[in-house]
Amino acid sequence: MLPPLDSSARQYWTAQLSNVNLSSMWMAELSARSGCSVPTIKYYLREGLLPAGEATGATRAAYDDTHVRRLRLIRALTEIAGLRLETVRQVLHGIDHAESWHEAVGSAHTRLGASPGDDTPPTQASLARVDGMLARQRWELAPGHPQAVQLARALDALDGVGHPVSDRLLDLYAAAMRPVAAHEVLSVLEIADTDVEASVEAAVVGTLLQEPLLLGIRRIAQENVSRGLAEESAET
């Protein structure tokens, strides 16, 4: 599990992804601006993670700010999110080949949420509970949606260790996440008005950086609620 990240880390990577201007450059400058070594850049080129530059000779190529942005995105996905290169490749493919912003983000979320080697089908009971929560929240997902399957697996895991989650708690989680999700999506859509690719990158990186942030806030809240209840108990 990724450790919680403070807001300054998220601000840094957001700025790194967005603060670029179109200009032509050689490999050395690309390395300096992206923070990636020349051997690493050449490796990403060979692996197809980074588009080739514009050939200017038999052995030279010029690069631009789209290459800087892509390298910074790869760095964020590998160094901050800790993703393997194969998963990074899938995320980038989803960004590059999506026909819409919504499709690109959905594709990325599907890949980011996948658990390697976890193909155990969830129980029908847990899938039905997920469907029930979706109906109560008036949310819609396609049948067999990966996020629904992942949630059902989590319910099964909790049931398996004797700590089942009630429908009431599921609804509480959903209600708490609704305004958070609305704020995040609207913020990214503002970017999409001027730069669709940047908005998709922001959504993907934001997901990776903000989920540990949400986890950290949850744990802080639990600690403070627990302390408050303990103090109340001691007073009585």
74-118 pLDDT, tens per residue? 887 888 777 889 888 988 887 777 666 677 677 667 766 665 556
> For position 6, what pLDDT does the model report?
58
Mean of pLDDT values over 59-66: 87
- Confidence band (pLDDT; 50, 70, 90) for 161? very high
Distance CA 90, CA 111 (A): 7
Of 113 and 220, more confident: 220
Of 136 and 82, more confident: 136
Q: Is residue 203 scored above 90 in pLDDT?
A: no
Of 210 and 173, more confident: 173
Contacts of 80 (CB under 8 A, 6+ apart): 5, 9, 13, 205, 208, 209
> For position 1, what pLDDT does the model report?
46
3 φψ region: left (φ > 0), alpha (ψ -120 to 50), beta (else): beta
> For position 23, what pLDDT does the model report?
66
Candidates 3.40.50.620, 1.10.357.10, 2.40.50.140, 1.10.1660.10; correct CATH number of 7-115+170-235?
Answer: 1.10.1660.10
Distance CA 182, CA 54 (A): 40
Mean of pLDDT values over 208-215: 82
Mean of pLDDT values over 192-218: 76
Distance CA 42, CA 230 (A): 57
- Confidence band (pLDDT; 50, 70, 90) for 49? very high
Q: What is the DSSP letter of 4?
A: P
- Confidence band (pLDDT; 50, 70, 90) for 7? low
Distance CA 78, CA 87 (A): 9
Residues for the chain: how many in total? 236
Distance CA 176, CA 170 (A): 10
